Structure 1
Amino acid sequence: MALRYFAVLTVVLALATTSKRAVADPDILSDFIVPQNNTKVNGTFFTCTKFRGLFDGVPETFKVTKAALTEFPALNGQSVSYAVLQFPANGVNPPHTHPRSAELLFLVAGSLDVGFVDTKNVLYSQKLQVGDIFVFPKGLVHYQYNSQPNMPAIAVSAFGSANAGTVSVPLSVFATEIDDEILAKSFKTDVDTIEKIKAGLAPHK
């Protein structure tokens, strides 16, 4: 009986470990990974200049600038990435998730109202001031909002993945091909309301 219990426990632990590895960045067996088409590696390969001049102006709408795997190939296998979040007055980063990483946000200018919702639908919110750090747990829905009517805000976010991924709640629900009738029933409203929401999310031409 004890042997059978031990065998089941071993299988459960093995599955749990395998599942955890499947969603995390892979471990690498070298110091770093160089793309196949890169024949020369020097300090430039390990440098990202995307943030130069970023703080010289204020965007008209919320803007995120990433230094992740796509933008910065040297991050491949390193399990880290950055993003700079720029909020104009009353700017918002709508509810979204990062399926592969927690987010550690550091506020460097202005103030932000932030929050996340856990799996019990409990909201944890806070008003951040310059110098504050807030963590959004991996995979949970969260947001950031600059409630100041005439002051911009800037934050820097760090991720424990080179490719944290972003799933926008409004876009994934209302800007995909989910049938309007299904959405109307799910949100206990009517199709006309759903169509108005979709029209509001459509890109401006």
Structure 2
Amino acid sequence: MLWYLGFFFFIANLLLVSSYKSLIHENLFHLSKTKALKYEGGNIWQADEISFPILKHQFGSMAIVTLKVGGIRQPHWHPFAWELNFVVSGKSEWSIVGTDGRHDSFVANAGDLVFIPRGIFHYFANADREEELKVLIIFNSGQVVEDDDIGIVPSLNEMPVDILAASFGMPKDYFKDIPRNMTSTPILLRKDTKHRRLPHSQNRWIN
């Protein structure tokens, strides 16, 4: 009798597990229900090969970034991925720095696309004084954003003062007050935006 009872519960458990698995759609990811990475200047939602396992070995991931008024995506570059940015809402300012002195600065509005090649230094910021900025970003890498992101703050933190002085052609005293051992924060907040002017649009990307 006990043997039959145990067998019954075993089969019932298998059916329950099978039924549960059938409810999991591996191609579906509820991004809006995930916990955002929250910073003073805005938030980041991510879907990568860790949070959305089907992306593993598919060379793709995405993020949604929202920036408050005054919010800045810290200047950075990605060693392993290019990125395609779609401005969902708001107004954004961009600066991109490439090799051989090439650079590009412009304002992108809702509905615009901005492409950043792999390994290219760049930043974007909220250019509106009243409205939040929302940007959808597609990467050709499945890595978590933090694992493929080198920011300007940790980069300068690790440089000796004399190296910075020589690089910029400035006295060492100019760099002595740079904060050290700072935690890298992907999204920053600019405190005063009332009287700030947007950078002039310029393009020196094409030689």
Shorter-chain TM-score tier: 0.5 to 0.7
Q: Find the structure with the greater CA-based Rg.
A: 2
Q: Does 1:48 align with 2:29?
A: yes
The corresponding residue for 1:96 is 76
Q: Does 1:186 align with 2:186?
A: no
The corresponding residue for 2:149 is 166
Tell me the distance in 2 between the aligned counterparts of 1:59 and 1:151: 17
The corresponding residue for 1:122 is 102
The 5-angstrom pairing of residues 112-151 of structure 1 reads 112-151=92-131
Q: CA RMSD in A?
A: 2.8
User: Matched residue pairs, number?
Assistant: 160
Q: Does 1:68 align with 2:48?
A: yes
**1:97, 1:139 within 8 Å by CA — same for their partners in 2?**
yes
Letter in 1 for 2:33: R
Q: 1:175 aligns with which of 138, 154, 157?
A: 157
After TM superposition, the score normalised by the length of structure 2 is: 0.66
Tell me the distance in 2 between the aligned counterparts of 1:125 and 1:169: 18
Per the TM alignment, residue 80 of structure 1 is displaced from its structure 2 partner at its CA by 0.7
Tell me the distance in 1 between the aligned counterparts of 2:26 and 2:141: 19
Per the TM alignment, residue 84 of structure 1 is displaced from its structure 2 partner at its CA by 1.0
- Higher mean alpha-carbon deviation, 81-90 vs 143-152, is at 143-152
Per the TM alignment, residue 77 of structure 1 is displaced from its structure 2 partner at its CA by 0.6
Tell me the distance in 1 between the aligned counterparts of 2:22 and 2:60: 20
The corresponding residue for 1:197 is 178
Tell me the distance in 1 between the aligned counterparts of 2:100 and 2:33: 41
Corresponding residue SS for 2:79: coil
**1:59, 1:86 within 8 Å by CA — same for their partners in 2?**
no
Unaligned runs of 5+ in 2: 1-20, 185-207
Q: Does 1:152 align with 2:132?
A: yes
Q: Can you list the C-alpha shifts for 1:50-94, whole angstroms capped at 9, x where unaligned?
A: 433779xx9641333322223333211111100111111021112
Letter in 1 for 2:177: K
After TM superposition, the score normalised by the length of structure 1 is: 0.66
Which of the two has greater strand per residue? 2
**2:73, 2:125 within 8 Å by CA — same for their partners in 1?**
yes
Tell me the distance in 2 between the aligned counterparts of 1:185 and 1:114: 28
Give percent identity, aligned residues only: 24
